[in-house]
Structure 1
Amino acid sequence: MNIYGERMPNSSPRRLPRGRYALSREEVERIQRSRLCAAMAEVMAEKGYVATSVADVLQRSGVSRQSFYQLFEDKLDCFMAAFDVAADLLLQHLLEMVGADEHRMPGPDAIDDPLGGFERAFTAYLAALAIELPYTRLFLIEVYAAGPAAMRRRSELQDAITAVFADLMGVTDDAGRFTCQMVVAATSTLVTRAVAENDVEGLSALGPRVIAHVRTLWHAGAFGTIVE
């Protein structure tokens, strides 16, 4: 299954039927876009960004070249769309686990128990990385080969994760926010090696160690002023 719940076989995916059918143009484009993003992530997981061609993505997705260029300008444009899919999925997992509202603020249970909320959110983060390894490789590894625009998008994603982390922990001052930023940056580095090696067990094993370290930082006052 891909990120959209659609089955993505390794070869000869089922194409949309030719001629007239019940789906609207918008729905067809949504399906094609999702298949292309999934194919981009899957092929890059095997070949890397540089060696992946538009032709590779078309073969894996079963979408025509004409349809590809109706949706995307080029390979990088498709990569950026796939990156956004991965980022949305990751943030969705984190926010759901802390019961966040429409403003991305943690729910009352997380506010009453910020360390417990962090443990649930971090466990969900690692699970999300393991479930969608091709997308995970995309924004943790292949993003470096995709160029400056992709790196800026990666920085924005890390900033968003840092903001969720800080809100979850009730941090209110700059020193505490900087601690959150360091934890997020260090975690990204730690998980990258496991992702590069497709080591799902290694990803899971990081959870207790990082959670324990965050608890130590919390009790040492490293998160600065917090909201009680």
Structure 2
Amino acid sequence: MARWAPDARLRLVVAAVDLFGEQGYDATTVAEIAQRAGVTKSTFFRHFTDKRELLSAGQAMLSDLLAAGIAEAPAGTTALDAVAAGLRRAATAMGPINHGLGPRIDAIVATSTELQERSLLKEAGLAAAMADALVGRGVAGTPARLAAEMGVLAFTRGFADWSQQADADADALAQAAVASLDELRLAAAALT
């Protein structure tokens, strides 16, 4: 095994998703994941604390991109328009690997209560990052949290729609997520 092979983190994620799909999450060991990825167990642990973390590997980057897009939205932008800017920015990081792995990861998460809980924590982290960015723009706490939660729901729905499209690119993800946010905006307006 190559000690410092390139793209070890991505190879570990792909190997884990393959193995989880083949033999189940619980039956798959860290040693098997490392072997499939062509790395050592110590390399695995340099990148991940445990096998659950593999399924939320991009969360920190996604949170940062969402927050950066919100922060960089033009002055005077509404909270939801700033969230839309965050969704567009986050979409720029999504490529073919995300397109292919997304539905497979969702299927694996659906098989385990533990993974479903972890997924909810991931969503809460994304919402917190967006809410903090909105508060940083001067949006009050409750509206910031509501806009952020709508942003998470829009991203999740947009990602699911995007994953079903053949050969969809990052622009298609941005469009799907923003369209979902617009639907949520209309639905919220109908509540009053």
RMSD, aligned α-carbons: 4.2
Match of 2:108 in 1: 142
Q: Decide which structure has greater helix share.
A: 2
Q: Give 1:42's aligned amino acid.
A: V
Q: Which one of 1, 13, 25 corresponds to residue 41 of structure 1?
A: 13
Q: Distance in 2 between matches of 1:185 and 1:136?
A: 15
Q: How far off its partner does 1:171 sit?
A: 4.6
Counterpart in 2 of 1:57? 33
Give SS of 2:179's match: helix
Question: What is the percentage of aligned positions where both structures have the same residue?
Answer: 13
Match of 2:90 in 1: 125
Q: Give unmatched runs, 5+ long, in structure 1.
A: 1-13, 17-27, 99-105
The letter of the residue matching 1:209 is A
The structural deviation recorded for 1:88 is 1.1
Specify the alignment match of 2:118 in structure 1: 153
CA shift for structure 1 position 200? 2.3
Structure 1 148/212 Cα, relative in aligned 2: closer, same or farther at 3 Å? closer
Aligned partner of 2:141: which letter? T
Kindly name which structure, 1 or 2, has the bigger radius of gyration based on alpha carbons. Answer: 1
1:15-34 mapped onto 2 (5 Å cutoff): 15-16=2-3
Give 2:77's aligned amino acid.
D
1:200 alignment partner, SS class: coil
| Whole-angstrom distance in 1 between the partners of 2:50 and 2:22 | 14
2:129 to 161, 164, 167: 164
Evaluate the alpha carbon distance shift between residue 48 and residue 126 of structure 1 in structure 2; reply closer, same or farther with a 3 A threshold: farther
Per-residue deviation, residues 138-194 of structure 1 (Å, max 9, x unmatched): 75443223x2332222111111222334442725337x7456435523541342243
The change in CA–CA distance for 1:94 and 1:179 in structure 2 (over 3 A counts) is: closer
Q: 1:203 corresponds to which letter in structure 2?
A: L
TM-score (structure 1 length as normaliser): 0.56
Count of equivalent residues: 179
Amino acid at match of 2:157: T
2:159 to 191, 205, 212: 191
Distance in 1, matches of 2:161 and 2:16, equals 17
